[in-house]
Amino acid sequence: MQTYKYRAIAQDGTAVNGVVEAYDEFEAVNEIRKTYSVVEYIKPVRKGRRVNIDVNEPLWVSNKTLAITANQFYIMLRAGLTMTRTIQLIADQCDDKLMRRYLRAAAEDVAAGYSLADSLEKNGKKIPAVFIETVRAGEESGTLEHSFQSLEAYYNRANKTKKKVKSALTYPILVLVIAVVVIALIMVVLVPRMTETLTGFGVELPLITRILIAISNFFKNWWYVLLIVIAALVLARYFWGKTEKGKMFFSKLRLKLPILGKIARYNAAAQVANTLSTLLAAGLPMTRALDIVSRVVDLRCVGKELNECIVSVEGGMSLGEALKNSKYLPAMLIEMINVGETSGTLEETLRTIGNFYSDEATTAADAALALMEPMITIVLGVIVGFIVIAIYVPMFSMSSGVGTGL
């Protein structure tokens, strides 16, 4: 609900200032006219920055929360509870602070006569378009319970796939971070001390040791430059990655990566198939479903391809035919879409192929982990071996010289 401040004229001619809460300006004017005949001025009140900011508040609504929320809606609506009461109960039980705030605002709007989808679209800035549009389709078609059931299954699948892929890639990333920190400490702290000891003997150091000393001096003297460069690259990635060109560049780059590219492609295929299946099952037309999928898919290059297909589909072309020249989606996905459209079982076919690619993404992540573990071990072994040899060779030379002198 929006708060409006106004100035109106009472029946005795006096000016009255006040505030009123309404869904929009038209409702606000109608509400004021119940008391005052003339409304001279009305303006929405901009909400100031909240003082009691909770730093632990999540930045988005997670797939797990969306799955739980959809399941609760399905159970309570099926039990015969009214929509307003259902929203209030779910809001009171919700652990996610963002979702709880959105649901409480929705309870007020629905009680005032507005739809749940419209309220979530207005208040739920961090709720995915798939959730909102599926709810809207369910409200329009009278199949809201079924829509929530579909959403619960969809977000459960998405949550499980994301967790499996994330857990598979967490270990190698953690090992790399620890290795970089340890090697940096060796180069900045240990090697300079060893260098002082070796140069104190006044012997000529071998090439490998001089290379190690040069690298160590670079890290020791220019570490802040490295930090500045890394920070600049991270900021450039963040801000340019928000632009259309940046999104296209990084999405294409992800697909070209030797190991992670296959995971990204399978994830995109699963996301397209599962999302499209959920939206079509909710009763959305193909063009509207494609528009939503093109906006929510993680890879921008895939989203752009889907968006370009809308015109062809509107002209009467099948989706499989429109996607036949796709550069980024797997050929099997497109072929299965053709099969589903031909047989009239597109929703079920998309759901099946979506589950298949979700499993493939998990399998690819496990295979990537199995491949990266020995690769990381080998790389770290080479680096550590280089450092040990560079330190040991001059010490061996000096000990050999002393032995010869004796």
The pLDDT tens digits of the residues spanning 98-111 come to: 899 999 999 988 88
> What is the average per-residue pLDDT within 234-262?
88
Could you list the beta-strand ranges (E) of 259-402: none
Verify that 13 and 151 share a domain, yes or no.
Answer: no
Q: Is residue 163 part of a domain?
A: no
- Displacement of CA 367 from its chain's centroid (Å): 23
Rounded-to-integer distance, Cα 243 and Cα 180, Å: 31
Q: How many structural domains is the chain composed of? A: 3
Q: In the prediction, which pLDDT does 172 show?
A: 75
Q: Is residue 58 part of a domain?
A: no
Q: Is residue 26 part of a domain?
A: yes
Q: Classify residue 4 as exposed, middle or buried by CB count within 10 Å of its CB (0-12, 13-18, 19+).
A: buried
Q: In the prediction, which pLDDT does 342 show?
A: 92
Verify that 221 and 335 share a domain, yes or no.
Answer: yes
Verify that 109 and 257 share a domain, yes or no.
Answer: no
Q: In the prediction, which pLDDT does 305 show?
A: 92
Rounded-to-integer distance, Cα 90 and Cα 305, Å: 38
Verify that 291 and 405 share a domain, yes or no.
Answer: yes
Look at 21-35, 46-60, 136-150, 190-204 and tell me which has the smallest mean pLDDT.
46-60
Q: In the prediction, which pLDDT does 23 show?
A: 65
Strand, coil or helix: 43:
strand
Q: Is residue 50 part of a domain?
A: no
Rounded-to-integer distance, Cα 92 and Cα 111, Å: 16
Does pTM surpass 0.85?
no
- In 3D space, the residue among 231, 249, 230 whose CA is nearest the CA of residue 240 turns out to be 249
Verify that 193 and 83 share a domain, yes or no.
Answer: no
Verify that 109 and 191 share a domain, yes or no.
Answer: no
Verify that 356 and 222 share a domain, yes or no.
Answer: yes
Verify that 118 and 194 share a domain, yes or no.
Answer: no
Verify that 144 and 206 share a domain, yes or no.
Answer: no
Verify that 79 and 141 share a domain, yes or no.
Answer: yes
Verify that 195 and 148 share a domain, yes or no.
Answer: no
Verify that 182 and 308 share a domain, yes or no.
Answer: yes
Q: Is residue 54 part of a domain?
A: no
Say how many CA atoms lie within 13 Å of 396 toward its Cβ. 8
In this structure, are strands 38-44 and 15-22 parallel, antiparallel, or unpaired? Answer: unpaired
- In 3D space, the residue among 306, 317, 356, 315 whose CA is nearest the CA of residue 336 turns out to be 356
Q: Could you read off the pLDDT of 168-194 as tens digits, one per residue?
A: 777 777 887 888 888 878 777 777 777
Q: Is residue 57 part of a domain?
A: no
> What is the average per-residue pLDDT within 143-168?
85
pLDDT at 87 over 90: yes
**For a pLDDT cut of 90, what percent of the chain falls above it?**
25
The answer to whether 96 and 57 have CB atoms below 8 angstroms apart is no
Q: In the prediction, which pLDDT does 29 show?
A: 76
pLDDT at 49 over 50: no
The 8-class DSSP code of residue 47 comes to P
Q: In the prediction, which pLDDT does 401 show?
A: 54
Q: Is residue 164 part of a domain?
A: no
Q: Sheet harboring 15-22: ordered strands across?
A: 15-22, 2-9, 38-44
Domain CATH number, residue 99: 1.20.81.30
Say how many CA atoms lie within 13 Å of 218 toward its Cβ. 7
Look at 55-64, 126-135, 275-284 and tell me which has the smallest mean pLDDT.
55-64
Strand, coil or helix: 241:
coil
Q: Is residue 399 part of a domain?
A: yes
The parent domain of residue 33 ranges over 2-44
Instruction: Examine the fold and report which residue of 122, 156, 190 is the final residue of a domain before the chain moves on.
Output: 156
Instruction: Tell me the H-state helices in 45-186.
Output: 63-78, 83-93, 97-111, 116-123, 129-141, 144-185
Strand, coil or helix: 7:
strand
Tokens describing residue 64 = 């797990």
Tokens describing residue 191 = 């090697």
